[in-house]
């Protein structure tokens, strides 16, 4: 195994190499594809470092990182503004070879001038392979629907849910059916997808601004990123923009990624309703899940977050982690390890003191 660290690689050449490796990778997250990683990469990765692993003369792993202030960020820039297009299911693009992920991350942590390693939105296997001590770690559950299992059990998504969830979904679908026939429309070409994206952003921003928050498309950079992402991904059939209508009225628009049978529900915009029975998010995703079932997709992934509608629709979840790691033998790493050893004893001491008082 040979691992090279290449500073500021040629992104055109890298894109060709990345796509070639993608074709050999069995399980691929959209967020590890060149469609996502390569989108406006020249702006996002202004001090790029490529990790490239070869075995027996063939490329077996690639990871594009960015250096920022002594931190090496896997698949991200390290700049909150440019990382606002949120990455999940992050990690190196690699073949399934024992020890490969650990070797790659050790090489990343040992890169010149790197004091901390940032892993954003990684699954447990990537976190377990990473070297160092966690300075901070956040876990988020990503609810998902196992469409293959539902199909094997007869194909009824609602049957896999709780009685309360089934009742909620049926009630909200009946409510919206009173406004006209329900129809889920998918953008047919890139021009329609871009127009639908614009309408989705308007709905999304109106909802978030009503709550005093900017939303996920609040800056020109964010809107430009997603317009570019649709332009590069829609022709590859990796983007779904889905509009649910009740008669002529738009209830909501979903912005989903789709790659190798895995649908990732990334963003959405819903029309405002005051009636508690009018839950457009529940209706949109229930209809989209039904379409994914009929289309033969394997997983409908709601990504990170604990929203109520996600819990209603998805009986399973998987953890994702956002972690910042420091070397074990650095002063910070040794202090953290010492605290991990002493913390249980400190808690026991406090408990004993309380018992005596």
Q: What is the pTM of this model?
A: 0.90
- Per CATH, 2-131 and 143-318 having the same topology is answered yes
Domain boundaries, the chain: 2-131, 143-318
The CA distance from 79 to 66, in Å, is 10
Contact 147, 293 (CB under 8 A): yes
Give Cα separations from 102 to 8, 54, 66, 107 (angstroms): 23, 14, 19, 9
Q: What is the pLDDT of residues 231-248, one digit of tens each?
A: 999 999 999 999 999 999
Per-residue pLDDT of the chain (357 residues; tens, 9 = 90+): 899 999 999 999 999 999 999 999 998 999 999 999 999 999 999 999 999 999 999 999 999 999 999 999 999 999 999 999 999 999 999 999 999 999 999 999 999 999 999 999 999 999 999 998 888 899 999 999 999 999 999 999 999 999 999 999 999 999 999 999 999 999 999 999 999 999 999 999 988 888 888 888 989 999 999 999 999 999 999 999 999 999 999 999 999 999 999 999 999 999 988 887 789 999 999 999 999 999 999 999 999 987 888 888 999 999 999 999 987 656 665 566 666 766 664 444 344 444 444
Pick from 35, 53, 285, 251: which is nearest to 157 by CA?
285
Q: What is the pLDDT of residues 14-26, one digit of tens each?
A: 999 999 999 999 9
Exposure of 47 in the CB half-sphere (CA atoms within 13 A): 14
Question: Which of the following CATH numbers is that of domain 2-131: 1.10.3420, 1.10.3470, 1.20.58, 3.40.630?
Answer: 3.40.630
CATH 3.40.50.620 fits 143-318, yes or no: no
Q: What is the reported pLDDT for 349?
A: 33
3-state secondary structure of 121: strand
Q: What is the reported pLDDT for 23?
A: 96
How many helices (H) and strands (E) the chain has is answered by 12, 13
DSSP output for 17-64: HHHHHHTT-SS--GGGSHHHHTTTHHHH-TTEEEEEEEETTEEEEEEE
Provide the H-helix boundaries in the chain: 11-22, 34-37, 41-44, 100-109, 124-129, 147-152, 163-177, 190-210, 220-233, 280-295, 308-313, 331-356
């Amino acid at each position: 195994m040979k691992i090279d660290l290449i500073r500021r690689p040629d992104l055109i050449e890298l894109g060709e190499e990345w796509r070639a490796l993608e074709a050999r990778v069995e399980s691929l997250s959209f967020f590890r594809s060149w469609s996502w990683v390569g989108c406006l990469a020249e702006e996002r990765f202004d001090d790029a470092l490529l990790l490239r692993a070869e075995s027996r003369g063939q490329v077996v792993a690639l990871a594009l990182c960015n250096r920022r202030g002594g931190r090496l960020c896997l698949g991200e820039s390290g700049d909150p503004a440019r990382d606002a297009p949120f990455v999940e299911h992050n990690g190196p693009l690699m073949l399934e070879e024992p020890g490969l992920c650990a070797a790659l991350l050790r090489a990343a942590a040992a890169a010149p001038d790197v004091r901390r390693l940032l892993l954003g939105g990684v699954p447990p296997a990537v976190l377990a392979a990473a070297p160092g001590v966690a300075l901070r770690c956040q876990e988020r559950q990503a609810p998902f629907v196992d469409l293959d299992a539902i199909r094997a059990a007869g194909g009824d998504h609602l049957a896999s849910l709780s009685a309360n969830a089934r009742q909620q979904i049926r009630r909200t679908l009946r409510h919206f059916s009173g406004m006209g026939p329900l129809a889920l429309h998918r953008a047919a070409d890139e021009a329609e997808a871009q127009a639908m994206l614009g309408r989705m952003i308007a709905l999304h921003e109106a909802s978030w601004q009503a709550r005093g928050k900017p939303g996920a498309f609040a800056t020109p950079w964010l809107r430009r990123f997603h317009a570019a992402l649709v332009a590069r991904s829609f022709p590859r059939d990796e983007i779904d923009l889905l509009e649910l209508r009740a008669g002529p009225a738009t209830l909501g628009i979903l912005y989903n990624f789709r790659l190798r049978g895995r649908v990732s529900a990334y963003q959405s915009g819903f029309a405002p309703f005051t009636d508690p029975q009018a839950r457009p998010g529940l209706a949109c995703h229930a209809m989209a899940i039904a379409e994914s079932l009929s289309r033969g997709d394997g997983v409908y992934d709601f990504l990170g977050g604990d929203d109520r509608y996600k819990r209603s629709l998805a009986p399973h979840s998987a953890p994702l982690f956002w972690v910042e790691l420091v070397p074990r033998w650095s002063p910070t790493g040794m202090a953290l390890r010492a605290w991990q050893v002493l913390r249980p004893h400190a808690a026991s001491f406090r408990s004993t003191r309380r018992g005596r008082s």
